[in-house]
Structures are given as structure tokens and as C-alpha cells.
Structure 1
Amino acid sequence: MIIDGLQCGHFDRDAFERLQKAGVHGVVVTCGFWEGTLESLDSLGRWRDLVRENSDIVTIATSPAEIEAAAVEGKVGAIMGYQNTNLFEGRIRLIEMFAELGVRVIQLTYNNQNELAGSCYEVEDSGLARFGKQAILEMNRAGILVDCSHVGNLSTLDAIKASQKPIAVTHANADSLFSHKRNKTDDVLHALKETGGVIGCATYRNITGDRYCKTIENWCEMVARTVDIAGIDSVAIGTDRSHNFTKPDYEWMRMGRWTREVDYGAASAARPGKVPPPDWFQNVEDMNVIPGGLSLVGFSPEEVNKITHGNWLRLYAATFRTT
């Protein structure tokens, strides 16, 4: 069983079938980036239609028990998530309403500083704002996992301190292993370890690097080195894999409505657009080699289970419940 901490893109039946073949029975799906409240509700509606049309192979999962039930039935458990907090439009009361609609994971910022916190790409990380602290506490209460993947390191540390429940970095890597603004410094990883949080190791080449993308063994060595920093209980999988994305989709992710200029996001002028997937991960179903790769680099069966699904299930159990 594999749980992927985050994927994005235009999911369809083919994507679900590929995830099935990979043994992925839980995946956080991205329902939005820059969209406001109404657009975000539209997205949830489209997801419900998509799941209804493919109910023989996919189900919406809102709890660890529902993910495990999906695995027993051989289905993919889709966990509803957003990569920004624009869906709240500054209204704290909308947090519990989206939770009641089945949303379980929300990232505080997406690339830009907002009302809640600073992002990984700002020249100076502003830290957690007052609204950010209140929103985190409300997410804790409503049963939504706080995600800090695209959040600045200072703001992430602030979020860890402010949250009454452990948080996640659903899709990033250790900056000390591959230096990139999107990756997390060792002090962040240590703080996750101390508070029961989890980082999902990414496969996105721009933040993973060519060396770790070369073979499954190389990527699993990166996971092992991340475990050396964050501990075996705080490392999982968060591929950041996209489905059926085209040039307009990447432009929306990177530029949204906020700029007239070209923004490359985690890419660069030298490597714009869609970056090649890892050499070992050409197709979604290739995720099925991850458990074997982890064993190959020395993880025990118990440790493999923690990385592939156990750590996410523990974190979801701690955060998907209301208080």
C-alpha cells in the first residue's frame, strides 16, 4: 500500500487506473491553487462528479479508515486538498464549512506571501501573520491538515509552533540534500520530528535534482538521508506528480492572476515548461517500485511500511478529526 502526500493535474479514469496498478490507495489531490471561494466550490463539485462516474475504482476518503477501506476494495482513496488558502477569501468561518464538504489538507500559501504567511519565494519571509495563527487553530479544530510545502522556512517554523496538532510538508525535499528555495532546511525537518509532523519526499525533478532522479535506488538513498535528518517516523512520499498538464496549466500554477510577467516557479529560464519526470518514474504506475527500492537501500519491512503509508496514516489520524 502506498499513500502519496500530493499529486495535481487533470485526473481521469486512466490516471486512477494507473494509480491502482501502482498500489496507491491514498492520494491527496489538488483541487485548486489561486481560485477563490466559488471557483473552489466548483472544483469540489467537479471532483464529486468525477468520483461518482468512476466509483468502481476511486472513492473520496476523509479519514484513515476510509483510506484503508479503499485499499481493501482495491480502490484509490482521493483525499481533497488545496495548495493555497484563497478559497477562504479571508473568512475564518469558511474553514469548517470546507472541512464539512470533505476537504482535509490545505497549504497556507502557494509561492506568494498572502494574508496568512510568507512564501518560499519572497526575498524576506514575513513569518506567520495573526490571521495565519487563527486560521491554523481553526484548521486544527475543523480537522484539516496544515501543509507548508510552498511556505517559507520561517513561516513554517512559526506554523509548527502555533499549531496544536502536527503539520505536514506534503511535497518537498531537504534543502541540505538538494538546495532549492522550495526545499526545507534542516531546522524545519528537526521541528517536524519533534512535533510528530511529516515531510513527503518529492520526485519533481526541479526540486529533486538529476542525480536523485536517475534511478530508484538513488531516490531512495535521498529518502534514507532525509530519515537521517528527520527520523523514520517523519518521512513519507509526496511525489508532486501531475496528470495531463499542458502549457496553460503550468502558466496558471506559476502566474495565476497576479502578474503580467513570466514566472517560472520552481523551474528556470534554462529549464522552463514541463520538466522531464525521473528516469525511473516515467509512468504513474512506476510508483510500484518504491517499496522494493526502499528495501534495496537498507530499510526494514517495518520501516518501508512507515514511509510508504504508515506515517501518513498516523498523521491523518491525528489531524483529520475535529476537536
Structure 2
Amino acid sequence: MSRTAFHTNRRALMAGALAAASFAPSSFAKEKRWRGMKDAILINALGGFFNPNTPPYTDEQRAAHYLNPRGIDDAIASGLAATNLTLGYVYGDEEPFEATVKDIAWFDEAIRLRPGKLMKAYSVDDIRAAKKQNRLGVIYGFQNCAMLGDDAGRVDIFADLGVRVFQLTYNIRNQLGDGSMAEENKGLTEFGREAVAKLNARNVLVDLSHAGEQTTLDAIEASAAPIAITHTGCAALAPHPRNKTDAELRALAEKGGVAGIYFMPYLTPGRQHMAEDIVLHIEHAVDVCGEDHVGIGADQSVTGIDDMEGYRKRHREDVENRKRLGIGAPNEDPDILLAVPDLQGVEQFQTIADRLLARGHSPRRIEKILGGNFLRLFAEVW
């Protein structure tokens, strides 16, 4: 299976609503409601606007998946002003550079076909405009820099094509450094340092979400600009290769960066994650980094899943395929769902805000976490 079909299929499994799921209802009572949703600029530092009920198994289905009105409308209805959308090569058997250029062209056309709903976001001004116009700003981002080959000059090509977020590695090693699943943990390579310098020079954002611990620390030190960890959890609460240690989080904050907490089962290795777990990871990150350096990178879409049995089947197949390709991570369990059972649909960001408010966090801090911090980071880097 190609990278495009396989990776976008994985994205399809990561929706936030499981209407047919047989989970106990949440015991959380919405005694308080955060009232800032209307005016705040919400940013999902890693997500999408697809409809998971139209899985892109073929090229023909892919357009329906990404351009389905329900997926787009749900993302806007959730309050999002912008989302960092993964495109280009991530893993698989395609040639990374060619696959990435084609993917960018495809998404450019996809956005052109929905001018009243979507807009490509190059700048903070674009994100603000998307909010004002009730559209969704689409930030182009990579989850692997393998498409650079051995030429850091290719950063110019992709920056000129509108890519604004460059994640250095996926789970395994590439030419820039070791990913989170590379046991050697060798860190950033010389080419990786060259690439970071080039990314800084082009005023695009370095992302270290899937990077190994040493690669993360090396890249933070090497970068002349603040960086991001767009989607992660806290290793102090849940030891897992995809989560970041306090040392990594602290170094990120000291450099002016922002860490986005994801809605993924890596938050709770060995059991199903719930909304409360996300809030606990947000709070720990705030304790370590400070309230100006924490955001949301859900690594999920918004639209709910209509066919629960089909979802479970696709999830099991996906887990096995990732194992086969050697790109899986611990806690990718066929019986632990990616989506959060009690954090579903267009209310998911409101629910997180309400939970934070109920636990004593100020409205201003909540606004920062739900988008203000990433907006500030984008303004500083772009």
C-alpha cells in the first residue's frame, strides 16, 4: 500500500467521536463553561478536516474523504481557526520527493475547490482571517523530512510551496537523525544540523514530535529560532518513546517553543485514554514549561464515526500493518482505540476548556493553551 493511502487511512482512524461505542458515560459534570470559544483563535497543531466515514482506500475515495462537507463543517463548528495538516511522504514505498510534490499539488487543488470553507495558511494574518471569515486555515506540515534527500536546499522548494511546519523525523531513523523508536538514540546528524539552519533561514517551523530524545535536545540547541513539538505527551506521567521527558519540555520552553498535547493512547500505556488523562498531561506540561508554552496537537480529526464495527476492524488492520512496516510504537494495541471515548465530536475543544476551568485554570490560560501560544510561536517564526 502506498504512503498516501496507508497514512491517510491511519488519519481516518483518529476521529474524535465514537457514537456507537459501548463505553460508560463520563462522570464529568459541566458545572462551569468556558465562554471564550467565540472570540479565541483555536489551533490544532496536528490534525485534519477529513471525514473518517469515507476512508480513502482508493484514489477516487480520497477526494471524498478530504473534501467531504461534513468533515470540513465539523472542523469549523468545533471552533478551530486552523489546523496543521500532515501531507507529503511519511513512510512507505513511494519516492519521498516525488510523492510530496504531488501531494502538495493535490491539496492545493482540494482547497481551491472549497474557497468558502478552506484557506491555505501561510501566516498568522491568514489564520486570523480564517477565524473572522468562519473558514478553516490549513497549515501545510510534514511529519518526516526524508523528502529532502541529501540536499538541504530542497527546503527552499517546499517553503516556496507553502509548507510551514517541518517535522525532522518520523518514528525511525532518517538522514537528519534518530526517531523516537530508534534504540541507538544517536541524535541529530551533521546533515540534520544543516537542515535545521536552513529551516531557520527560511523562517519555517522545526517540529520534533517524533524525534528521539537526543535528536530533540540536539535540535533545540542547534536551532536559532523557537521550535515546536506539535503533538506529544509527558513521559513523567506515562513513560513512552513518543512522550517527551521533562528535560526535553523544559529545554523547549527555554527556547521559546510550544508543546502540543495529543489525544492519543500513548498518554496511558496499557489502557484506554480518556479526557481526564489529556487534562492531566496538559497540567503537567504547564507545570514544567509554564502556561506560555503548552497547546493542543490532538493528532485527530473532529468528525464522529458512524460504523463502530468497521472502525474497530480498520484499527486492528492498521496496527498489524504498522508492525509489519516496522514503524509502530508501543501501546499501538488492537484493542485500545485511538479516539477518546468521552471526548467526541465538535464539542471536544470546548470540553477540554471546561475541564480546565473546573480545575481552577484561568480563562486567559485556557485561551493560550487552545491556540494563543501556537499563534504567538507562528508569529515569531514565520
- Common fold by TM > 0.5: yes
Q: CA deviation at 1:122?
A: 1.2
Q: Which structure has the greater CA radius of gyration? A: 2
Report the TM-score when normalising by structure 2.
Answer: 0.76
**Residue identity opposite 1:225 in structure 2:** H
Which residue does the alignment assign to 2:289?
Answer: 230
Contact 1:173–1:208 under 8 Å retained in 2: no
Q: 2:268 & 2:111 partners in 1: Cα distance? A: 31
Does 1:170 find its partner at 2:225?
no
Q: 1:4 & 1:300 partners in 2: Cα distance? A: 20
Match of 2:76 among 20, 26, 44: 20
Structure 1 segment 202-217 matched on structure 2, within 5 A: 202-208=262-268, 213-215=273-275, 217=276
Q: 1:253 & 1:140 partners in 2: Cα distance? A: 35
Q: Comparing both chains, which one has the higher relative contact order based on Cα–Cα distances under 8 Å and sequence gaps of 6 or more?
A: 2
SS at match of 1:11: helix
**Cα deviations by residue, 1:172-209 (Å, 9 ceiling, x for unpaired):** 01100111110001100110111101100010123455
Q: 1:26 & 1:290 partners in 2: Cα distance? A: 17
Q: 2:111 & 2:320 partners in 1: Cα distance? A: 24
Which consecutive unaligned segments of at least 5 residues does structure 1 have? 256-260
Which residue does the alignment assign to 1:258?
Answer: none
Q: 1:247 & 1:263 partners in 2: Cα distance? A: 17
Q: CA deviation at 1:92?
A: 1.2
SS at match of 2:238: coil
Q: 1:52 & 1:264 partners in 2: Cα distance? A: 33
Q: 1:44 & 1:207 partners in 2: Cα distance? A: 31
Q: How many residues align?
A: 313
SS at match of 2:150: coil
Which residue does the alignment assign to 1:297?
Answer: 359
Structure 1 segment 119-138 matched on structure 2, within 5 A: 119-138=179-198
Which residue does the alignment assign to 1:306?
Answer: 368
Does 1:266 find its partner at 2:306?
no
Q: CA deviation at 1:287?
A: 2.7
Q: CA deviation at 1:241?
A: 0.8
Q: 1:62 & 1:248 partners in 2: Cα distance? A: 37
Q: CA deviation at 1:55?
A: 1.4
Which residue does the alignment assign to 2:66?
Answer: 11
Which residue does the alignment assign to 1:280?
Answer: 342
Q: 2:234 & 2:325 partners in 1: Cα distance? A: 27
- Identify if the C-alpha distance between structure 1 residues 162 and 80 changes in structure 2 by more than 3 Å, giving closer, same or farther: same
Contact 1:250–1:274 under 8 Å retained in 2: no
Q: 1:125 & 1:77 partners in 2: Cα distance? A: 35
Does 1:198 find its partner at 2:254?
no
Contact 2:315–2:337 under 8 Å retained in 1: no
Does 1:82 find its partner at 2:150?
no
Which residue does the alignment assign to 1:2?
Answer: 42
SS at match of 1:295: helix
Identity of aligned residues (%): 33
The answer to which of 206-215 and 138-147 deviates more is: 206-215
**Residue identity opposite 2:122 in structure 1:** T
Q: 2:141 & 2:252 partners in 1: Cα distance? A: 20
Q: CA deviation at 1:293?
A: 2.2
Which consecutive unaligned segments of at least 5 residues does structure 2 have? 1-40, 51-64, 306-310
- Identify if the C-alpha distance between structure 1 residues 56 and 274 changes in structure 2 by more than 3 Å, giving closer, same or farther: farther
